[in-house]
Every structure is written in structure tokens, then in C-alpha cells.
Amino acid sequence: MNQPRIRILATGGTIAGSAGSAIERGYRAGEVGVVELIKAANELGLARVLDGSQVSAIGSQDIGWQQWNVLYQSIASEMDNRRLDGFVITHGTDTAEETAFLLDLALAPTKPVVLVGAMRPADAVGSDGMRNLANAVRVASDPGAAGRGVLVVMSDQVFAAIDVRKAATSGAEAFRGFPRGPIANVTPTSLDWFGPAERAGRGAQFEWPAALPRVPILYAYAGMDDADVACMLAGARGVVLAGMGQGNAPATVLEALARAGVPVVRSTRVDQGSVDRNLEVDDDAFGFVAARGLGPAKARILLQMLLANGVTDPAAMQSAFDRR
Ligand code: GLU
């Protein structure tokens, strides 16, 4: 039987990081190149044909439009290549959820696209990099992973891009899903999906834009006032409020946002929970959009994608957030 063929797109992060010592605390992200990653993966005997390309070698706190554009173009242009069965993106964990969600919005779910990171550098004791990479290759090789959108594999679990969040700053089990938890469990030799592929046969949700508009995130805090809003909004085409609780902010802040003249999406600074329309804040009166289950970082990505695709009507925006 032919072995599955998987393309690895390497961007950097701890999965390609080295500390120079098994017990050293610091590390340098992105030091292990894609050739070395593939060599190490091949030594595991995964029975896959791996090839790769080096998109960048950076910590994911520095990821942005340039890398996202290369990732999108590299995958979209090869999605129908019959000689490839799936894609694995190696990535830092800090912004894994943003890259995964942005690509999820724009790629057709035709073949598996799996983003994977690590919490411990390659040369650290208890490194999780090869475990996670082997698991990611396993998922990317499974035809049953298609039709689920972009997936994130960490610590023997598979998350959908829409749900996944980095929920801890350290420790190998740092990722959680919300509102759904993991959608599968994985090891290099087993993969158990918990439900059907809901997006099988569907196309991409959005056109890939030529650029993404400026959309800041405004983090709400006690004592905040309208002057803080004015500082943040220079040049903004939209704004996401990382509000308190159910997407709240002081009345003066809500009023300043309503006057800002750009779309406003209310999300929450709280780890879990949905922000619902008109519950505590009168979204109808203010003209706001409720982020529902998306946290601020992903609410920002969706708002950017909507704006870049010419969607500015609050009702149309709300229905895009309601579909999440
Ligand atoms: N801050 C770096 C990044 O996101 C390292 C964190 C990690 O990969 O776990 O790339």
C-alpha cells in the first residue's frame, strides 16, 4: 500500500526550539529547521512520505500577514494535488489559535490541515515536540480528518480551530477547546473521532483577501474611560472589545465605542463562556455585534475577514458570529 504523503510547513516556535541543555529554562524558538524536523520524524518510522518547506523560523508572537499569506497560498495551491494527502504546519503555541482559525475561514476543508506546536524545546527533558508531530502526521494522514476544517493537535488531543485556545502559559497540556473540548484523541498509532466531519463537501467560507484591515482589541478594566477608547482607535476599521464578564465595559466606554463609526464586536476577557446579544448590553441600541463563543483574538480574526470581504452590516456580521 502507498504510504500517505504529508507536506510539512515549518514556521518556528518551540517545536523547533532548542534550549542548549536538557534542563535549561530559556530557549531559542525556531532553531531546528524543517529538514531536521523531517529527519527526526523519519527516524520514528512513521511510514509516511514527508516533504517540507520552511515558511519562517520565528516565535509565533511575531507571526502576521506575511507568514499567513505564504501559508494560505502554499496550501490552497496544493489542495487538489493528488500526490499530497495532507498538510502539517509546525507553529509556536502563542498564536496557534489565530493562525489556525484564519486559515480555517479561508481554506476549503478538502484535505486535512493540521497545526501543531510544542510546549518544551526539542532538547528539553520530557520534550513534547516529536510526540505532537507524530500525532499531527497521524491526523493529517487520515482521510477522516478532511471536512473538519483546520485542526490543532496538542498532547494527544485534536481540536477544531474554532474551539481551540491556549489556556496555560506552561505545561504540555496547555490547550483547551471551548465550547467543544477535543474532537478526537490521537496517538501515533490510533485516532478516535468523537463525531462526524460536519463540513465534508463544503467549500471555503471566505475569499482570501489581499490584506487584513487594522482591528485593535480593547481590553476592558475597572476605571477605564472614553479617553482610552480614543487612544486605541486611530486608523482602526473595526474594534473588538475584550469586555468584562458578558462583554461589559463602563458606560462611558460603550458610548464612545458606539460613536466610533466602525463595527464593534463585544467579546470577553473571561476564559470561558459565550457573549450573547442584548443580554446585559443593548446591542441593538448601540449597533454592536456579540462575539458569542469566540474569544477576543479569534473575534478579531473573524471581524478582519468580514471587513476584508466587504461585510459591514451589523446584522450580517452578527449572523457570521452566530454560526461559530
Ligand atoms: N512564544 C513562542 C511561540 O509562540 C514559544 C512558545 C511555544 O511555541 O510554545 O512561538
Q: Which among 193, 228, 252 is the end of a domain?
A: 193
Question: Does 198 map to a domain?
Answer: no
Nearest to residue 68, comparing CAs of 102, 115, 39? Answer: 102
| Residues 163, 59 share a domain | yes
| Residues 241, 172 share a domain | no
Residues spanned by the domain of 135? 5-193
| Residues 153, 266 share a domain | no
The CATH number linked to 223 is 3.40.50.40
| Residues 113, 22 share a domain | yes
Indicate which residues carry an active-site annotation.
14
| Residues 224, 168 share a domain | no
Q: Which among 158, 193, 228 is the end of a domain?
A: 193
Give one DSSP letter per residue of 61-90, joined into a string. Answer: GG--HHHHHHHHHHHHTTTT-TT--EEEEE
| Residues 79, 40 share a domain | yes
Protein residue with least CA distance to atom 2, ligand 1: 59
| Residues 142, 31 share a domain | yes
Give the start-end residues of each E strand in the chain: 5-12, 49-58, 86-90, 113-116, 151-154, 157-160, 164-166, 175-177, 184-187, 190-193, 217-219, 239-243, 264-268, 289-290
Q: Which among 137, 161, 193 is the end of a domain?
A: 193
Protein residue with least CA distance to atom 8, ligand 1: 92
Are 27 and 124 within 8 A, CB to CB? yes
Ligand 1 centroid to Cα of residue 214, in Å, is 24
Are 50 and 8 within 8 A, CB to CB? yes
Q: What is the pLDDT of residue 125?
A: 86
Cβ neighbourhood burial of 203 (10 Å; 0-12, 13-18, 19+)? exposed
Q: What is the rounded distance in angstroms from the CA atom of residue 10 to the CA atom of residue 88?
A: 8
Cβ neighbours for 208, distance < 8 A, ≥ 6 positions apart = 72, 76, 106
Question: Does 269 map to a domain?
Answer: yes
| Residues 165, 29 share a domain | yes
Question: Does 201 map to a domain?
Answer: no
Ligand 1 centroid to Cα of residue 172, in Å, is 12
List residues near ligand 1 (CB under 6 A): 13-14, 29, 59-61, 92-94, 117, 119
**Dihedral sign, Cα of residue 251, residue 257, residue 261, residue 264:** negative
Which ligand 1 atom sits nearest the alpha carbon of residue 118?
A: 9
Ligand 1 centroid to Cα of residue 138, in Å, is 23
Question: Does 200 map to a domain?
Answer: no
| Residues 162, 270 share a domain | no
Q: What is the pLDDT of residue 17?
A: 78
pTM of the shown model: 0.95
31, 58, 61: which to mutate for ligand 1, most atoms within 8 A of CB? 61
Q: What is the pLDDT of residue 70?
A: 98
pLDDT digits (tens, 9 = 90+) for 295-310: 999 999 999 999 999 9
Q: What is the pLDDT of residue 201?
A: 95
| Residues 152, 35 share a domain | yes
Q: What is the rounded distance in angstroms from the CA atom of residue 150 to the CA atom of residue 9?
A: 14
DSSP state of 117: -
Domain tally, the chain: 2
| Residues 189, 42 share a domain | yes
Nearest to residue 294, comparing CAs of 157, 150, 161, 154? Answer: 161
Q: What is the pLDDT of residue 324?
A: 65
Nearest to residue 51, comparing CAs of 60, 41, 59, 43? Answer: 41
Question: Does 205 map to a domain?
Answer: no
SS (H, E, C) 243-297: EECCCECCHHHHHHHHCCCCCEEEEECCCCCCECCCCCCCHHHHCCEECECCCHH
At CA 96, angle to CA 43 and CA 137, rounded to 5?
A: 25
pLDDT digits (tens, 9 = 90+) for 223-255: 999 999 998 898 999 999 999 999 999 999 999
The crossing angle, in degrees rounded to 10, of helices 34-43 and 129-140 is 80
Ligand 1 centroid to Cα of residue 9, in Å, is 16
The CATH number linked to 142 is 3.40.50.1170
Q: What is the pLDDT of residue 293?
A: 95
Q: What are phi and psi of 241, to 5 degrees?
A: -90, 120
Q: What are the beta bridge partners of residue 88?
A: 8, 114
Question: Does 41 map to a domain?
Answer: yes
**Dihedral sign, Cα of residue 35, residue 37, residue 38, residue 44:** positive
Give the Å distances, CA to CA, from 55 to 40, 80, 291, 298.
Answer: 19, 20, 31, 22
| Residues 270, 131 share a domain | no
Which ligand 1 atom sits nearest the alpha carbon of residue 15?
A: 8
Question: Does 267 map to a domain?
Answer: yes
Ligand 1 centroid to Cα of residue 302, in Å, is 23
Which ligand 1 atom sits nearest the alpha carbon of residue 174?
A: 9
Ligand 1 centroid to Cα of residue 6, in Å, is 23
- Identify the segments of the chain with pLDDT beneath 50: none
Question: Does 287 map to a domain?
Answer: yes
Q: What is the residue whose three cell numbers read 476549503?
A: 108
Are 100 and 127 within 8 A, CB to CB? no
pLDDT averaged over every residue in the chain: 94
